[in-house]
Structure 1
Amino acid sequence: MSQQELKKQVVKIISDHRKGVLSTVENNKPYSRYMTFYNEDLTLFTPTKMDTEKIDEIEKNRSVSVLLGYEEKGLSDTYVEISGTSIVNDSQHLKKQFWDESFKKWFDSPEDPNYVFLQIQPETIRILNNNGEPAQELHL
């Protein structure tokens, strides 16, 4: 599969699966949690509170891993494994762009200073469990 075809498949998987697992590192141990992800040209954004442990973890170690796509049929689902780095992004534009009324459970409004995004810049993206084929890596 060409890199262009691979990128197209990666974008489809990411776009079709907004819920995934974010893993961070603390004291050389992984910590994982389910998050909601938004995609802009393979840069991922996930909303969070500024006063959470994952923010502290990322400030100490920017390395993260994301799994997306493994949720419907079980063992036969194709999914992506993304390794990259993360930063905190508190852009007001981003906060308004991705605001959802369901966020009111955690935030007052898009202007809430505790409402931020983790911005994840992929370094490697692998497609796994793709019709029995070996893992394929998208070169970024």
Structure 2
Amino acid sequence: MNKDNLKQQALEIIANHRTGVLANVENDKPHTRYMTFYNKDLTLYTPTQLDTEKVQELEKNPSASVLLGYEDKGVNDSYIEVSGKTIINQSQDLKQQFWDDSFNKWFAGPDDPNYVLLEVQPETIRILNNEGGPAQEFQV
């Protein structure tokens, strides 16, 4: 499968699965957590509080991996693994674009200085469990 087809398939999986797993490194060990992801041309964004441990962990080691998909008991679901670097993004435009009223539980609004986005800049994307075929991978 060519890169354009793989990219389109990855975009479809992302569009259908907002909740995923963010994995990074904490004290030289893997650390995972569920997060909500938003997509902008394969760059993933997830809201978080600036004063959380995940921000401190990612500032020490920006490498991260995200899993999205795989909800139907894993039998027939394709899913993706996005590996890349993560930065803390405080762009007011992006914060406004991705704001959801459900965030009011944690933030005073889109202008809250503690509301930031983790931006996962993809380097490699793997599509797995694709109709029983082997994993497909492409560089971004």
Number of equivalenced pairs: 140
User: What residue ranges of structure 2 are gaps of 5+ in the alignment?
Assistant: none
Structure 1 residue 62 corresponds to structure 2 residue 62: yes
Please give the per-residue CA displacement for 1:94-136, whole angstroms capped at 9, x wherever unaligned: 1111111100000001010100000000110000000110000
Aligned to 2:33: 33
| Corresponding residue number in structure 2 for 1:112 | 112
Task: State the distance in 1 between where 2:136 and 2:58 align.
Answer: 27
| Structure 2 residue matching 1:74: 3-state secondary structure | coil
Quote how far apart the aligned CAs of 1:41 are. 0.6
Q: Distance in 1 between matches of 2:47 and 2:70?
A: 21
For residues 54 and 111 of structure 1, what CA distance do their matches in structure 2 show? 21
- CA–CA distance in structure 2, aligned partners of residues 64 and 115 of structure 1: 20
Task: Name the structure 2 match of 1:134.
Answer: 134
Residue 92 of structure 1, CA deviation: 0.6
Aligned-partner Cα distance in 1 for 2:66–2:98: 19
Query: What is the root-mean-square deviation of aligned Cα atoms in Å?
Result: 0.9
SS at match of 1:132: coil
- Please give the TM-score of this superposition, normalised by the length of structure 1: 0.97
Whichever residue aligns with residue 64 of structure 2, its letter is V
Q: TM-score, normalised by structure 2?
A: 0.97
Give the ranges of 4+ consecutive aligned residues of structure 1 lying more than 6 Å apart after TM superposition. none
Q: Could you give the per-residue CA deviations for residues 41-72 of structure 1, whole angstroms, max 9, x where no partner exists?
A: 11100000011110000000000000001123
For structure 1, the 5+ residue unaligned runs are none
The Cα shift of 1:73 comes to 4.2
